[in-house]
Amino acid sequence: MLALTATELWPGEGWNFVFGQASLDQRVGVWSLARFGNPNEEWPVVLRRTLQIAIHETGHMLGIEHCTAFECGMNGVNSLGESDRAPLPFCSDCDLKLWWACGMDPLPRAEKLLSFVEKNKLPRETEEFRSRLKLLQSE
């Protein structure tokens, strides 16, 4: 179960906020849109921020911990600047974990992801998923 809220998330003493939080073993998570901006004024930015946190927290819900080896959707972020710089896609190691956890075929997934980012005008991700799709098609 994944919940979405427009309310700030505060996990407790020692924290000022979190964008989201998820359990590695209970398959539950939550993320907040509170700090992502005004969707009426900056829709592509708000969409990308929402996707970045949703993808990251869903990764946790599937048992994937923070990635520290590569630039990856599973990198931890502590500010909007870090979130905006973080990639949406997982690195190859975390992608393999995702494919295994969900029993998914990477080629159809890459095709759907490319279609989604093209449709939603996310240029950085369009370039990345187009490159990944070409690699998968060549194998």
The per-residue pLDDT for range 113-137, each reduced to its tens digit, is 999 999 999 999 999 999 999 999 9
* Residue 96 falls inside a structural domain: no
Closest alpha carbon to 76 in 25, 29, 20? 20
pTM of the model: 0.85
68 shares a domain with 123: no
Rounded CA separation 95/92 (Å): 5
The band of 23, judged by pLDDT with boundaries at 50, 70 and 90, is confident
| 85 and 130 part of one domain | no
**113/84 same-domain check:** no
Q: Is 67 in the same domain as 112? A: no
Q: What gap in Å lies between CA 121 and CA 124, rounded to an integer?
A: 9
**What is the residue range of 16's domain?**
2-90
The verdict on residue 98 lying in a domain is no
Q: What is the CA radius of gyration of the chain?
A: 15
Altogether, the residues listed in the chain come to a count of: 139
Q: What is the DSSP letter of 9?
A: B
Instruction: Round to whole Å and give the CA distance between 77 and 65.
Output: 13
- The total number of structural domains in the chain stands at 2
Does 84 lie in the same domain as 115? no
Residues 74 and 137 in one domain: no
Q: Is residue 97 part of a domain?
A: no
Residues 20, 56: one domain?
A: yes
Please, which residues bridge with residue 31 across strands? 4, 20
Does pLDDT of 139 surpass 80?
Answer: no
Among 8, 42, 57, 71, the one annotated catalytic: 57
Question: Is position 13 annotated as part of the catalytic site?
Answer: no
